[in-house]
Amino acid sequence: MAVTAVCLTLGLMVGSRGIAPVAVWQALLGTADPEARAIVQDQRLPRTLIGIVGGAALAVAGVVVQGHTRNPLADPGLLGITAGSSLAVVVGISALGLTTPAGYLGAAFGGAALGTIVVVVIGLAASRRRDASPASLVLAGTAVSALLGAITGIILLLDSAALDLFRFWTVGSLSAGRDLDVFLAALVPLAVGGVLAGAHARALDVLVLGDDVAAALGRNLLPTRLLGLVVVTLLVGGATVAIGALGFVGLVAPHLARRVFGEKHEVLLPASAMLGSLLVVVADVIGRVIISPAELPVGVVLAVIGAPALLVIIVRTRKTSA
Partner 1 sequence: MSASTTLRVGMFSQQVRRRTVVVCALLLVATVLLAGAGLALGDYTLAPGDVVAALRGEGSARDHLVVNAIRLPRVALGIVVGVCLAVAGAIVQTTARNALASPDLLGVSAGAGAGAVAAIVLSGTNAAGAAALEVIGTPLAALLGGVVAAAIVGLLLRVTGTTGLSPLLAGVGVSALFGGLTSWMLTAASIDDAARANAWLAGSLGGRGWSEVAAVTVAAVAALAPLIVLSSRLPALELGPSIATSLGYRVPQSVGLLLLIAVVLTSVPVAAAGPIGFIALVAPHLARLACRSPRPPLVASGIAGAALLLASDLVARFALAPLLLPTGAVTAVIGAPFLIWLLVRSRKDPTQ
The site for partner 1 (CB under 8 A) is made up of: 73, 78, 122, 125-126, 129-131, 133-136, 138-140, 142-144, 146-147, 149-151, 153-154, 157-158, 163-164, 167-168, 170-171, 247-248, 291, 294, 296-297, 299-300, 302-304, 306-308, 310-311, 314-315, 318
Q: Using CA atoms, how far apart are residues 295 and 10, in angstroms rounded to an integer? A: 16
**Shortest distance, position 64 Cβ to partner 1, whole Å:** 21
Q: Which C-beta is closer to partner 1: that of 62 or that of 193?
A: 62
**Shortest distance, position 95 Cβ to partner 1, whole Å:** 14
Check: CB of residue 250 under 8 Å from CB of residue 75. Answer: yes
**Shortest distance, position 143 Cβ to partner 1, whole Å:** 4
**Shortest distance, position 318 Cβ to partner 1, whole Å:** 5
**Shortest distance, position 300 Cβ to partner 1, whole Å:** 4
Q: Using CA atoms, how far apart are residues 132 and 155, in angstroms rounded to an integer? A: 35
Strands (DSSP E) found in 176-241: none
Q: Which C-beta is closer to partner 1: that of 129 or that of 259?
A: 129
Q: Which C-beta is closer to partner 1: that of 130 or that of 259?
A: 130
Classify 233 as helix, strand or coil. helix
Q: Which C-beta is closer to partner 1: that of 125 or that of 195?
A: 125
Closest to 120 in 3D by CA, of 76, 63, 178 = 76
Classify 166 as helix, strand or coil. helix
**Shortest distance, position 132 Cβ to partner 1, whole Å:** 10
Kindly give, in sequence order, each residue whose CB lies less than 8 Å from that of residue 202, ignoring residues fewer than 6 positions away: 265, 266
Check: CB of residue 260 under 8 Å from CB of residue 93. Answer: no
Closest to 133 in 3D by CA, of 259, 319, 317 = 317
Q: Which C-beta is closer to partner 1: that of 13 or that of 139?
A: 139
Written as one letter, the residue type at 288 is R
**Shortest distance, position 90 Cβ to partner 1, whole Å:** 14
Q: Which C-beta is closer to partner 1: that of 214 or that of 251?
A: 251
Q: Which C-beta is closer to partner 1: that of 51 or that of 194?
A: 51
Closest to 312 in 3D by CA, of 245, 247, 255 = 255
Enter the DSSP assignment of 244. -
